[in-house]
Structure formats: C-alpha cells, structure tokens
Amino acid sequence: MKLRDVGALVLLAALWGGSFLFMRIAAPALGPIVVAAARVGLAALALLGYALAVGLHPQWRSSWRQFLIMGGLNAAVPFTLITTAELHITAGLAAILNATTPLFTALVAALWLGERLTLSKGAGLLLGICSVGVLIGWSPLPPGPVGFASIGASLLAALFYAVAGVYAKRTFVGIVPLRLEIGQQLGATALLLPLALPIGIVTAPTLRPTPGVIAAIVALAVLCTSVAYLLYFHLIASVGPTKTLSVTFIVPVFGLLWSTLFLHEPLGVNTFLGFGLILISVLLVTGLRLRPARPLPTATPGTPPVKTTPLN
C-alpha cells in the first residue's frame, strides 16, 4: 500500500469510528429515528451533489426496489438500532460490538450462499460469541433488560450489515459503487422520512438542539457517511477489497479513542480483553493475516467491486 492509501485507510477508520461519537451526542436530543433519517437524507443530498459535479448520473429508477431493500438493510435499520442502543450504552462499546459484522457475514454467507464454514471460521465464530460475553459480563450496563436490549440492538445492527453485504454481492453485480451508495441512501431516506416527519412535528416545540447536536448531525451525514464511503470506494479501487477490509480492525480503536477524549467514557480491562478477542475471531473468520500479502490486482477505475462488509 502506498503512503496515501494508508492515510486514506486511517482517515476512513477515524470517520467511521467518529460516527459512534456523533450518534451518542445527537440521539438523546433528537431521538434515534430522527437522527437516522437526518443522516441518510443529508448524505443522499451530498452524494447526489458530488455525482452531478463529476458527471455521473445516479440511474436509480430502474433498480429502485433493490435500492429500497439495500437502504433498509444497510442504513435505515442498522443506523436506527445503533442510535437506539447508544441511548443506554457507551459509544466505545457500540463501536466494539459493531466489529462483529465480519463474523455475522461469514455465517450469513454460509447459510445463504452455501459458502463452506472451515474449522478456522467455526473457531472464529465461537470465539466471537465468547468475546461478546466478556464485554457484556464486565461492562457497566444499565440495570435490568434495558442494558441487554441495547447490546442486542447493536448486535442485530451488525447482523443487518452482514445480510446487506451478501445481498449486495448477489444483486448489484457490476454496478458503479457510487450509484449503489446514492441509491442506498435514497432508499433509506424513503423508508425513514415517513416515520421521522410525524415524530419531528410532534416533538418540535420541545426540541432545543444545541449547536453541538446540529454539528454532530452534519458531521454524521457528510463526513461519516458521504465522505467516508467515497474514501471506501477509492481504497477498493486502489488496493483491493481484502486490504480495505482491514479497516474493520481500526474503526473500534477510533471509536474508543473519540468516546474517551470527548465523552470521557471509562476504559476497563474488559474493554481491551473483549476487543482483542473480537479482533482474533475476525482474523480467523476472514483469513486476513497481519503480515504483508501479495499485491492484489488494481480494479478498473469507476467500477470497483461493491462492498461486502459494511460498517457503522
């Protein structure tokens, strides 16, 4: 990887890690559905503006049903679930739980696509389950079912990301990823807007969003969604999907870093132990190695493969 690609990978991880911070800031003030709707709506507008600027027509009408499904699986539902979970759990814990997405992807691919579950993948899945147990057992969660429901919502979001990745692999063969991302955000907006508008109208008289909350929403939509996915597509075209997948390991690091610096969330031994176990389990499942691999062929500019392991 060239130095600029390494920088792009780190920046992508920093942006996706920051999404958990911004959701944690905005959710208590505006509610999960309004936050999720604002995120996808503003992101769709920003991506549409970029596409028009570079002369790319979105071409979403012919595949609007598929985009609607993709928007629900990869944006509307998981964004809402994570934002709801972060009403009760820390942003750092939500970021770590989101790192289980590749584990769920392996399981979904085995059930849906018939991909073989090797001994290494099976061991990784079992270790991933144990890792979540470590995090839950030693984390300062809200008492009663609220804490466990929040953990469940975060894990369910990771499962939706996994299903979305497999669905994209089967459905959007050969599509320009920018068109896929625009269609996905438009689909998610179409699903969330009818829910968010009535909530916003009812709660508007009592809402007093601070400049910090407004800034968090804008950053969540523009930086953590629009800019982040453009970086993601650039990396897939430049270094290939396997190396780009290594961002999975870095996102929780930034999620923990931002939540500790700006929200003063505590870090315990269980956090590092659970995070380390999840990383090992992801390594086992994905087959990635921490030593240099052979260079991958560079994809043709403008038509890189679609993403298969979506995050945050």
Q: What is the pLDDT of residue 115?
A: 85
Our measurement of the distance from residue 181's CA atom to the centroid of its chain's CA atoms, rounded to an integer in Å, reads: 13
> What whole-number distance in Å separates Cα of residue 62 and Cα of residue 98?
32
Place of tokens 């144990």: 130
Residue 2 zone, left/alpha/beta (φ > 0; ψ -120 to 50; rest) = beta
Give the phi and the psi of residue 299 in degrees, each rounded to 5.
Answer: -70, 155
* First vs last C-alpha separation in the chain: 24
**CA-angle at 94, arms to 92 and 97, nearest 5°:** 110
> Distance between CA atoms of 170 and 175, rounded to whole angstroms?
12
pLDDT tens across the length of the chain (312 residues) = 788 888 999 999 999 999 999 999 999 999 999 999 999 999 999 999 999 999 988 887 888 999 999 999 999 999 999 999 999 999 998 998 998 988 898 899 889 888 888 888 888 888 887 887 777 666 666 657 888 899 999 999 999 999 998 998 889 888 888 899 999 999 999 999 999 999 988 888 788 889 999 999 999 999 999 999 889 888 887 887 667 777 888 899 999 999 999 999 888 777 888 888 888 988 888 775 544 444 434 443 444 444 444 456
pLDDT of residue 34: 96
Q: Are 27 and 35 in contact (CB under 8 A)?
A: yes
Q: Both tokens of residue 237?
A: 């075209």
- Ordered by start, the domain boundaries in the chain are 3-286
- At 187 the pLDDT is 96
pLDDT of residue 102: 87
Give the predicted TM-score (pTM) of the model. Answer: 0.86
